[in-house]
Amino acid sequence: MNTLKKSARILVTGAGGFIGGHLVKYLRKKGYQNIRAIDIKPLKKWYQIDVNAENMVLNLDNLENCQLATKNIDEVYNLAANMGGMGFIERHKALCMLNVLINTNMLIAARESKVKRFFYASSACVYSLKKQMHVDIDGLKESAAYPAQPEDGYGWEKLFSERMCRHFMEDFALETKVARFHNVYGPFGEYRGGREKAPAALMRKVIEAKLTNQKTIEIWGDGLQSRTFMYIDDCVKGIDLIMHSNIKEPINLGTSELVTINQLVSIIEKVSQTNLTRTYNLNEPNGVRGRSSDNTLIKKYLNWEPSIPLKTGIRKTYQWIEKQITKK
């Protein structure tokens, strides 16, 4: 592992978002004091704020803002992106593609500022759709991204940005790390408004049904589509391990605990101590039939893989969302 001094100057972009906010908190707990946190949202809309960080509001579509962001920085964690769950990325393909401006300008600025390491948050959406057509899917190996047929819009942008990272490393000796996230969930994230992902959306629906004495829950798709879901604590630990490893290629960051959406709903119902009648809306976005993370490579490199049980993570997340809804 590549060690990093606690006095190192660290930049986290997308710090006002779900994963970025947790990453700042994680790095602070590890003893890093010089953290610059940047997001496009006004500070009052950040999910989490570390008052001891250098918090800045910047639009990183702009190269000059990226140059300002990376000034005197040793490590960059680039999590900034205009994104959301399947409902968002299927309906906003152009906005997702425009994320390429952020990573391109951040790479240019990082090179100019002589940044030592650059982390890019990619996605399992880069994987070929042809290899995700069955519910009982084998884990997706990193090589399954090619020949390329990724998720339209969001997946293409992520795959292109991965290549940008690779070529900046090859041509300019900027050390880049790329992790392909698989369905990250946890507290301090979106649970309503159109950008929420499946676990948070389903927990919100169960909580609202319970509070209003409803007996039904609507599920997008037929409920048989399968996924792996990674709790946020595993995600930020994985980011840290990958960033300070000798890994050169894009690598999966997700659990191998495969469940159907119906099984996910059952776990949420058990946590909430409720039982609802399910209705299925086949007209809403529901993504590929099956997606699972093959963790062979990450275990080989790190002797570690995300392993927090889904039931444990769902319980913690449910309690947080329930508290937010109850307060409102």
Q: What are phi and psi of 111, to 5 degrees?
A: -65, -45
Omega into 42 within 30° of 0, i.e. cis? Answer: no
pLDDT tier at 73 (50, 70, 90 boundaries)? very high
pLDDT of residue 137: 84
Question: What value does the mean pLDDT take over residues 145-151?
Answer: 95
Give the integer Cα–Cα distance in Å for 14 and 78: 7
Question: What value does the mean pLDDT take over residues 110-138?
Answer: 94
pLDDT at 194 over 90: no
Active-site positions read: 154
Q: Which residue has the tokens 């707990």?
A: 29
Q: Which domains does the chain have, with CATH numbers?
A: 9-185+232-256+293-307 (3.40.50.720), 198-226+259-291+314-327 (3.90.25.10)
327 or 68, which is more confident? 68
**Per residue in 198-243, pLDDT tens?**
999 999 999 999 999 999 999 999 999 999 999 999 999 999 999 9
**Per residue in 92-111, pLDDT tens?**
999 999 999 999 999 999 99
Helix (H) or strand (E) holding 228: strand 226-228
Handedness of CA 167, 98, 133, 136 (dihedral sign): positive
Q: Is 293 helix (H, G, I), strand (E, B) or coil?
A: strand
pLDDT of residue 296: 97
Average pLDDT, the chain: 95
Q: The tokens of 158 are what?
A: 């992520």
Contact 288, 237 (CB under 8 A): no
Distances 72 to 27, 102, 111 between C-alpha atoms, Å:
18, 19, 12
pLDDT of residue 286: 83
**Is residue 155 left, alpha or beta, with left meaning phi > 0 and alpha meaning psi from -120 to 50?**
alpha
Give the integer Cα–Cα distance in Å for 30 and 27: 5
Contact 321, 207 (CB under 8 A): yes
Q: Which of 252, 235, 203 is nearest to 21 (CA)?
A: 235
pLDDT of residue 315: 98
**Per residue in 267-306, pLDDT tens?**
999 999 999 999 999 998 888 999 999 999 999 999 999 9
Give the integer Cα–Cα distance in Å for 53 and 42: 15
**Is residue 125 left, alpha or beta, with left meaning phi > 0 and alpha meaning psi from -120 to 50?**
alpha
pLDDT of residue 26: 98
Q: What are phi and psi of 216, to 5 degrees?
A: -130, 160
Contact 140, 155 (CB under 8 A): no
Contact 231, 186 (CB under 8 A): yes
pLDDT of residue 88: 87
pLDDT of residue 164: 98
pLDDT tier at 321 (50, 70, 90 boundaries)? very high
pLDDT at 1 over 80: no
Contact 105, 61 (CB under 8 A): yes
pLDDT of residue 15: 98
327 or 106, which is more confident? 106
pLDDT tier at 136 (50, 70, 90 boundaries)? confident
Give the integer Cα–Cα distance in Å for 324 and 127: 34
Question: What value does the mean pLDDT take over residues 309-324?
Answer: 97
pLDDT of residue 327: 86
